[in-house]
Structure 1
Amino acid sequence: MFIFDAHLDLAMNAMEWNRDLRWTVEDIRKSEQDLTDKPDRGKNTVSFDAMRQGNIGLCVATQIARYVKPENPLPGWNSSQQAWAQTQGQLAWYKAMEADGFIKQITDKATLNAHLKSWEEDRENTPIGYILSLEGADSIIDLDYLEKSYEQGLRAIGPAHYGPGTYAFGTDSVGGIGAKGKELLKKVQSLNIILDATHLCDQSFWETMNAYQGPVWASHNNCRKFVNHNRQFSDEQLLELIDRDAVIGTALDAWMMVPNWQRGKSTPEKMGVTLDLMVQNIDHICQLAGNSLHVGIGTDLDGGFGTEQSPSDLDTIADLQKIPELLRNKGYGTEDISNIMHKNFIRFLNKTWK
């Protein structure tokens, strides 16, 4: 089945972790077997080849660069200008991969539907489609830079990532959007950029919902019902997104899937982390909505973690093809499964890109 993955940090892996995604997953792992700078060295799950094997022909691919003020203990750049330059390097990598024929940027309804037709008719010779998204808006120096990003193809943006940001407060922080955040939202709405609610802390989430009326999705978010942490959305937040006709992409980071995960100590096998837990999150959102129209796949694979913190029955991203059968076993029919695997996000884009 064709799969739309709503969140992959492809450029981060290429530019910061020095992974050539044109290689196979196996070759990338071999190249990292003696590296110890990151817990997921030699445990990556994503490459263009693996995406093709899994029929993942369309994804949302990110730019990401955090600007941290002196009092912020998180890693990041010391100025928004440095963060902007980092996102531009990431964009240059995407463009180089386009020139090499591996990927193709999707920016509007025409390019979206032409890509889907081409993939269906000649998958082997069609580049993987990607929609450019910015995870955390700290690199937007001022709103003129948001316009520049839009001209470069940016079509989705998350106001915050982890901690306090320039425009909103994110995961593991508390605060609202303030005047700058409201100005950003107004500009996002005027440009018809999709707002990604992922990572917004509760206060910033609700202030954003009150201030913003444009298209919104949550590219990679699970349910607080199963893991009681501010990174996940409560049923009230999920219902708000459903009411706004959003789509929520479910993620595969183990700590978001099972409670009491301890980084560096817990293992997927011992904690019982499998793709069934993704289906559990999918099913919960469907039950809240009363239908299968508001949930999809947003794996976040290789988003700072690898197989050491992924479902034990997933070796590479190609194993997403196991999900349809798991959904069938849960009682989902073919149309519902198609909605979840790709149709919901594609329908959302066709509605947004008039």
Structure 2
Amino acid sequence: MKRRFIIDAHLDLAMNAIEWNRDLTRPLEEIRLREMHLKDKNDRGRGTVCLPELRKGRVGLVVATQLSRVNAAGGALPGSSWHSPQQAWAMTQAQLAWYREMEALGEMVQIVSLQQLNAHLELWNDETIADDKKPIGYVLSLEGADSLVDVSYLHKAYACGLRAVGLAHFAHGRYAPGTKMEGPLTTQGVELLKEMSKLNLILDVTHLTDEGFTQAMDLYDGPVWASHHNVRKIVPVQRQLTDEQIKLLIEKGAVIGGMLDCWAMDSRFIDTVSDPWQLNIRLENLVDHWDHICQIAGNSRHVAFGTDLDGNFGTEQSPWNMNSIADLQKYEAILSARGYKDEDIDNIFYKNWLRFLRKAWG
């Protein structure tokens, strides 16, 4: 039986390529081998994502990020942090240049319109072409808006294909406070939402504070999604979605991408301390979060993949029964065993994100 197509709505590909110095065109084992003796990051030698593995898993369309924060006060934060907006903007341009190089090689193709989306799906449905010969499609997203020097830069980014924006990431942000923080959007953040609406950009509510989430949902009249979020009822930390937030997202027609970071699936897991195998954290754990959202919605139309794999972590912080992103295909059997029908599995694998994009861009 032909394996299902998959859309993953959150991968930090360019960050891994530029800052981790990973050549994502190469086989995964080769990338891991190159990093065997490196100690600068916790996930060295433990990556799970590269372009060959995406093709192997039929993950043919991804939402790929630019990620670069301003952290003028200093201090360690996950990913790229800079002392000025200009430095942060320059890093996003380096990341964009990497995506352009992947396009030049035929490894990836940027998707910015409904016409391109339909053509890309037609290509991936063409069984006369081997999957390992097909480019990975990507929708460009900005994770945290700090790098936009001012609101006018949003138009520069849009012209380069940016189609989704998250206002916040970690810590204090120029447009909104992020994970582990409290408080509303900044004045600039409110202004940015107005400009985003003019361009019909997708608002990603991931990483917003509770107050910022409510404010953004009230203010924004364009398309909204939660690219990589799990359920607070199961893992009771601020980074997760409350039942009330889930209901608001469902009312907006949003889709919520389930993430495979162990701490976001099981409240027992502690970063850099716990072991997924010892705690028996498996791919199956994510289905508990999906189930919870499906019960609130009354259907399977609002959950999907937003894995965040290799987002500052690797196999040391991923389900123990997953070696690479290609193992997302295991969810067909997992979901079937949990009582999900073929239509539900299609929804989760690709149809929900596809339906969302078609509505947003149609």
Do they fold alike, i.e. is TM over 0.5? yes
| 3-state SS, counterpart of residue 277 of structure 2 | helix
Indicate the residue corresponding to 1:115 in structure 2.
Answer: 120
Distance in structure 2 (CA, Å) of the matches to 1:179 and 1:27: 47
Indicate the residue corresponding to 1:67 in structure 2.
Answer: 70
Task: Please list, as runs of the form range in 1=range in 2, the aligned pairs for 1:276-315 lying within 5 A after superposition.
Answer: 276-315=284-323
Distance in structure 1 (CA, Å) of the matches to 2:232 and 2:246: 10
* AA at the equivalent of 1:177: L
Indicate the residue corresponding to 2:103 in structure 1.
Answer: 98
**2:147 is the counterpart of 1:142:** no
| 3-state SS, counterpart of residue 268 of structure 1 | coil
Task: Please list, as runs of the form range in 1=range in 2, the aligned pairs for 1:128-139 lying within 5 A after superposition.
Answer: 128-139=136-147
TM-score, length of structure 2 as denominator length: 0.96
Shift of 1:262: 1.8
Indicate the residue corresponding to 1:239 in structure 2.
Answer: 247
Distance in structure 2 (CA, Å) of the matches to 1:263 and 1:275: 18
Task: Please list, as runs of the form range in 1=range in 2, the aligned pairs for 1:55-204 lying within 5 A after superposition.
Answer: 55-70=58-73, 74=77, 76-121=81-126, 122=129, 123-204=131-212
Shift of 1:73: 6.0
Distance in structure 1 (CA, Å) of the matches to 2:70 and 2:245: 27
Deviations 1:204-230, CA, capped at 9 Å, x for gaps:
111111111110000000000111001
RMSD across aligned positions (CA):
1.0
Deviations 1:39-96, CA, capped at 9 Å, x for gaps:
1100000011101110100000000001013277647100000000000000000000
Distance in structure 2 (CA, Å) of the matches to 1:125 and 1:252: 27
Indicate the residue corresponding to 1:342 in structure 2.
Answer: 350
* AA at the equivalent of 1:317: I
> Unpaired runs of 5+ in structure 2?
none
| 3-state SS, counterpart of residue 129 of structure 1 | strand
Distance in structure 2 (CA, Å) of the matches to 1:152 and 1:56: 23
| 3-state SS, counterpart of residue 255 of structure 1 | helix
1:208 to 200, 213, 216: 216
| 3-state SS, counterpart of residue 163 of structure 2 | strand
Distance in structure 2 (CA, Å) of the matches to 1:49 and 1:162: 30
* AA at the equivalent of 1:285: I
Runs (4 or more) in structure 1 with deviation over 6 Å come to none
* AA at the equivalent of 2:90: A
Deviates more, 1:232-241 or 1:66-75: 66-75
Shift of 1:181: 1.0
Indicate the residue corresponding to 2:10 in structure 1.
Answer: 7
Aligned residues: 354
Indicate the residue corresponding to 1:259 in structure 2.
Answer: 267
Change (3 A) 1:242 1:154: same
1:270 to 270, 278, 283: 278
Distance in structure 2 (CA, Å) of the matches to 1:138 and 1:66: 5
Shift of 1:124: 4.0
Distance in structure 1 (CA, Å) of the matches to 2:112 and 2:134: 16
Change (3 A) 1:303 1:197: same
Shift of 1:264: 1.7
Distance in structure 2 (CA, Å) of the matches to 1:154 and 1:304: 22
| 3-state SS, counterpart of residue 261 of structure 1 | coil
Deviations 1:245-297, CA, capped at 9 Å, x for gaps:
00000000001111132222200011121011111111111111000111100
Distance in structure 1 (CA, Å) of the matches to 2:223 and 2:9: 15
Shift of 1:164: 1.2
Determine if contact 2:65/2:140 at 8 Å carries over to the other structure. yes
Change (3 A) 1:211 1:41: same
Distance in structure 1 (CA, Å) of the matches to 2:76 and 2:340: 45
Shift of 1:126: 2.3
Distance in structure 2 (CA, Å) of the matches to 1:203 and 1:163: 15
2:50 to 41, 47, 51: 47
Identity of aligned residues (%): 53
| 3-state SS, counterpart of residue 269 of structure 1 | coil
Distance in structure 2 (CA, Å) of the matches to 1:68 and 1:345: 32
| 3-state SS, counterpart of residue 7 of structure 1 | strand
1:37 to 36, 40, 61: 40
| 3-state SS, counterpart of residue 82 of structure 2 | coil
**2:29 is the counterpart of 1:26:** yes
| 3-state SS, counterpart of residue 23 of structure 2 | coil
Distance in structure 1 (CA, Å) of the matches to 2:98 and 2:44: 21
* AA at the equivalent of 1:23: R
